[in-house]
Structure 1
Amino acid sequence: MRNLLLYLEYDGTNYHGWQIQPEDITVQKTVEDAVFKIFKEKISVTGCSRTDAGVHAKKYALSFFTECKIPAERVAVALNTALPYDVRALYCTEVGENFHARFDTVSKTYQYIINNGKYDVFMRNYCWTVKSALDIEKMRSSAKYFLGKHDFKSFMTGEKDVTVRNVFSLDITENGDFINIFISADGFLYNMVRIIVGTLKKIGEGKLDGEKIPEIILARDRSLAGETAPPQGLYLYDVKYEVSEILK
């Protein structure tokens, strides 16, 4: 039995998120159907993260066990013959039997794209169009308050027992009218990135003082943070593992 680590990219527009649901089309089910078609095995794949409906991925990792003898370097090519146009296998490698695509992650990076210019009908599913002018420098100066290990309960939806996460970096860049927000952490709470983006947007609009962020974090009160940014601007950008874990 082999354990394979596979990387994907996908456009989440037509999917109800990653995780299998009884009545809806999901990325996981789509991938498992392709694996069955190529490998002739009924296999359950383990994803590195759950993504919501409409959320995209530029580098999504999953792992699965198989008896198939297709060389790892040929797996992505084979699967792409069975995958739809909006899901692509990037590359595959064989890993140790104890490797787990979700639990062995060291860091995840998300990208969020804001269009702060004219509404673009062709980009409507791939960014958040914000009509009010945003002060990028205010947003950048506020980013530092999110760095480090904090209790991010104010920046999540729902309930979870452990709400402490370690944010490694939060960078904001510009490309014409488009604002790119990159955030890396050891893990994320449900809607954490989208709420942080909504909070930064509020700061950029001048509706929230960025220096209030430490107070909002300490309060552990969702109502004090900004709105939840819509899903279509969010991309899982990168997933990292310890090399030693991959090689076991």
Structure 2
Amino acid sequence: MRKIALKIAYIGTRFYGFQRQPDLPTVEGELISALQEAGLIEDPKDARFQAAGRTDKGVHSLGNVVTFFTPYDVHVNQINDILPRDIKVLASASVYYGFKVRYPLKRYYRYILFDDDLDLEFMNLAASKFEGTHDFTNFSKRIERNPIRKIESVKIREDDDYYIIDVVGESFLWQMVRKMVKVIADVGKGEIEAEKVDELLNPKERIYIEPMPPENLILIGLEYGVKIKFKEDDYAISSFKSMLEEEFLEYKRASIVRKVMRDTLITFK
């Protein structure tokens, strides 16, 4: 019996999050079904199937990690042939029995923020206030038993007509990253002062923060205290990259059609 780790990429658009839910499409549900069909596991509980990140509905990933026990050899492309095209196993590794996939040292998230004329200097000031250990009660969807979290870094850069916000931390509450981005964006718009972050992180009362949309959030990867010798599958990576390029071209063409329709509606008499 061996313990196997798989690095998983997926487009979260059509899934109701990672974690299995009755009668709803989820990433975990598809993965377990594929592993069962491939004959690698029978019951996920018996195989001690676990995942590092339970991403929300609509959130994407380039490096989530799952583990399970199996007596069989694991072939990445055998699993990928069963999975839908918007989920791909990118790499596999054998790990020691005591490896705990749910507890990485760092989680790397990236949010793509589409907005115009934001003040990058003020945004960076607000972002810096999240770094360190704070009470993130106001940045979770629910009441948490332990809302204290440590954020290693929040970095922002401007790229063409959007902003890339990279957030690195050990662990995150439900909707925490998206609520952080909302506050940073509001500071960039001048709707609130950067000092408001200090108030939100030292809550005397619970304040509701509307989270940013989930479809712009990507779980980039995870870092563990031990070195995992992932064997990347070049074909799987190339296949997933091709799928992303195809979808990008499809959306680009659809966007151009809508732009032409909009412009024609305005100009045609």
SS of the equivalent of 2:90 reads strand
Shift of 1:37: 1.6
Q: Does 1:230 align with 2:234?
A: no
Shift of 1:136: 1.8
Shift of 1:133: 3.0
Unaligned runs of 5+ in 1: 117-131
Shift of 1:58: 1.2
Q: Which residue number in structure 2 is paired with residue 108 of structure 1?
A: 107
Shift of 1:222: 4.1
Distance 1:161 1:246 in 2: 35
- Superposed CA offset, 1:170-224 (max 9, x none): 0001110121111011100111101001111110110110022112211254426
Q: Which residue number in structure 2 is paired with residue 21 of structure 1?
A: 21
Distance 1:183 1:40 in 2: 35
Letter in 1 for 2:63: K
Q: Does 1:67 align with 2:71?
A: yes
Contact conserved, 1:151 with 1:220, CA < 8 A, in 2?
no
For residues 163-242 of structure 1, the aligned pairs below 5 Å read 163-219=147-203, 221-223=205-207, 226-242=209-225
Shift of 1:238: 1.2
C-alpha distance 67-85 of structure 1, shift in aligned 2 (>3 A)? same
Unaligned runs of 5+ in 2: 231-269
Letter in 2 for 1:11: I
Distance 1:191 1:222 in 2: 15
Contact conserved, 1:170 with 1:183, CA < 8 A, in 2?
yes
- Superposed CA offset, 1:11-49 (max 9, x none): 000100000001101000101111112235324231101
Contact conserved, 2:112 with 2:162, CA < 8 A, in 1?
yes
Letter in 2 for 1:37: E
Contact conserved, 1:154 with 1:220, CA < 8 A, in 2?
no
C-alpha distance 245-59 of structure 1, shift in aligned 2 (>3 A)? closer
Across the aligned residues of Structure 1 and Structure 2, the Cα RMSD in angstroms comes to 1.8
Distance 1:40 1:140 in 2: 47
Distance 2:215 2:58 in 1: 5
C-alpha distance 245-87 of structure 1, shift in aligned 2 (>3 A)? closer
Shift of 1:52: 1.1
Contact conserved, 2:17 with 2:57, CA < 8 A, in 1?
yes
Contact conserved, 1:4 with 1:65, CA < 8 A, in 2?
yes
Q: TM-score, normalised by structure 2?
A: 0.80
Shift of 1:77: 2.3
* Correspondence for 1:155 among 114, 139, 150: 139
Q: Does 1:12 align with 2:12?
A: yes
SS of the equivalent of 1:14 reads coil
Shift of 1:69: 2.5
Q: Which has the larger radius of gyration?
A: 2
Distance 1:41 1:238 in 2: 25
Distance 2:90 2:77 in 1: 8
Distance 1:59 1:94 in 2: 16
Contact conserved, 2:200 with 2:207, CA < 8 A, in 1?
no
Letter in 1 for 2:108: T
- Superposed CA offset, 1:73-107 (max 9, x none): xx3222111111100111010001111211x3111
Q: TM-score, normalised by structure 1?
A: 0.86
Distance 1:245 1:160 in 2: 31
Contact conserved, 2:17 with 2:58, CA < 8 A, in 1?
yes
Contact conserved, 1:16 with 1:52, CA < 8 A, in 2?
yes
C-alpha distance 147-173 of structure 1, shift in aligned 2 (>3 A)? same
SS of the equivalent of 2:145 reads coil
C-alpha distance 218-80 of structure 1, shift in aligned 2 (>3 A)? same
C-alpha distance 80-50 of structure 1, shift in aligned 2 (>3 A)? same
